[in-house]
């Protein structure tokens, strides 16, 4: 399959990208932090199966430019080009985008958020990345998926975005941004699922990742463990899609 992964520089996004490449898929990896070189190492190993593209989901123009790159890559194949060097990638035979994994996100606690003393600028930034980032991706990329038999839209969310199961009394920006993401996914599920698009809304659990700015020492799952579980769920063709449900890494179903 041809798959786009956002937030692929490190953490869960990088772990999922690595697994997808090992499975033989072609991946466009959205890079936000060029100073992180792990993706370059994957490129050396997997060659044309990996295309690293600059991508800031909080910036509409950045997402559009990424869309232009992927559309160019797809167009080479659909035009019947045999010049893989010119095309620059090893796109799979479907000639379209099969799956989007919307993974890029930030943790509102990075702002030093204090309950009842919110940093409004950072709240807006968190919302712009965690919520509107997914909106930009879908609106710019979904039509590139129309020729696919899969047409799968995957979203990394959080139980923190469940209103009915909310237990926190702080971290407003992160929880609110994930609740907004969940609502958006529900709306586009209502719109696009009847057209043959498939959906995965996922809570990856507490991961020892970089959400706090450095590799966390605490968490239930390592990056590799979390990535393996996430990919198995995203690739599962037997998920009941008669209704939209957010599934957790341990199989728990979360209400909105």
Q: Are 253 and 233 in contact (CB under 8 A)?
A: no
Query: Two tokens at 110?
Result: 């990075």
Question: Is 86 a residue whose pLDDT tops 60?
Answer: no
Which own/partner contact pairs does 64-69 have at CB distance under 8 Å and 24+ positions apart? 64/140, 66/28, 66/30, 66/140, 67/140, 67/141, 67/144, 69/28
Q: Which residue has the tokens 């990424």?
A: 66
The whole-angstrom separation of Cα 165 and Cα 159 is 8
Nearest to 143 by CA among 91, 197, 187: 197
SS3 of 152-167:
EEEEECCHHHCCCCCC
Please report, in angstroms and rounded to a whole number, the separation of the first and last CA atoms in the chain.
30
What 3-state DSSP class applies to 117? Answer: strand
Distances (CA, A) of 37 to 48, 51, 55, 127, 229: 17, 14, 15, 27, 24
Question: Is 85 a residue whose pLDDT tops 60?
Answer: no
List of residues 6+ apart from 157 with CB closer than 8 A: 178, 181, 182, 185, 201, 202, 203, 246
Q: What is the pTM of this model?
A: 0.91
The shares of helix, strand and coil residues in the chain, as percent rounded to the nearest 5, are 45, 15, 40
Taking residues 104-113, report their average pLDDT: 72
| More confidently predicted of 1 and 78 | 1
Taking residues 132-137, report their average pLDDT: 98
| Amino acid 93: pLDDT | 56
Taking residues 32-41, report their average pLDDT: 94
| Amino acid 13: pLDDT | 97
Q: What is the pLDDT of residues 193-249, one digit of tens each?
A: 999 999 999 999 989 877 666 676 777 899 999 999 999 999 999 999 999 999 999
The whole-angstrom separation of Cα 77 and Cα 80 is 5
Query: Two tokens at 160?
Result: 């923190």
Q: What is the pLDDT of residues 148-178, one digit of tens each?
A: 999 999 999 999 999 999 998 888 999 999 9
| Amino acid 78: pLDDT | 64
Q: Are 129 and 36 in contact (CB under 8 A)?
A: no
Question: Is 111 a residue whose pLDDT tops 70?
Answer: no
| Amino acid 116: pLDDT | 77
Q: What are phi and psi of 246, to 5 degrees?
A: -90, 120
Q: What is the pLDDT of residues 40-50, one digit of tens each?
A: 999 999 999 99
| Amino acid 84: pLDDT | 46
Read off the pLDDT band of 87 (50, 70, 90): very low
Read off the pLDDT band of 74 (50, 70, 90): confident
Query: Two tokens at 68?
Result: 């232009």
Q: What is the pLDDT of residues 179-196, one digit of tens each?
A: 999 999 999 999 999 999
Taking residues 120-146, report their average pLDDT: 95
Instruction: Return the percentage of the chain with pLDDT > 90, whole number.
Output: 74
Mean pLDDT score of the chain: 90
- DSSP structure class, residue 214: S
Question: Is 62 a residue whose pLDDT tops 80?
Answer: yes
Note the CATH number of domain 2-254.
3.40.50.720
């Amino acid at each position: 399959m041809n798959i786009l992964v956002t937030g692929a520089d490190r953490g869960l996004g990088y772990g999922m990208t690595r697994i997808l490449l090992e499975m033989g898929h072609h991946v466009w990896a959205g890079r936000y932090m060029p100073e992180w070189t792990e993706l370059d190492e994957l490129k050396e190993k997997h060659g044309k199966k990996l295309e690293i593209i600059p991508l800031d989901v909080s910036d509409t123009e950045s997402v559009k430019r990424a869309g232009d790159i992927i559309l160019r890559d797809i167009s080479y194949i659909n035009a019947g080009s045999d010049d893989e060097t010119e095309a620059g990638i090893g796109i799979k035979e479907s000639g379209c985008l099969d799956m989007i994994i919307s993974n890029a996100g930030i943790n509102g606690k990075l702002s030093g958020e204090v309950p009842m003393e919110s940093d409004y600028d950072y709240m807006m930034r968190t919302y712009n990345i965690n919520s509107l980032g997914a909106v930009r991706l879908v609106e710019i990329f979904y039509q590139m998926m129309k020729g696919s038999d899969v047409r799968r839209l995957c979203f990394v969310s959080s139980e923190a975005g469940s209103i009915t199961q909310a237990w926190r009394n702080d971290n407003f920006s992160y929880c609110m941004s994930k609740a907004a993401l969940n609502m958006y996914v529900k709306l586009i599920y209502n719109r696009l699922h009847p057209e043959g698009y498939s959906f995965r809304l996922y809570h990856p659990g507490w991961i020892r990742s970089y959400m706090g700015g450095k590799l966390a020492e605490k968490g239930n799952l390592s990056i590799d463990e979390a990535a393996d579980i996430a990919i198995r769920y995203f690739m599962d063709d037997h998920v009941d899609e008669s209704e939209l449900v957010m599934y957790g890494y341990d199989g728990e179903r979360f209400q909105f």
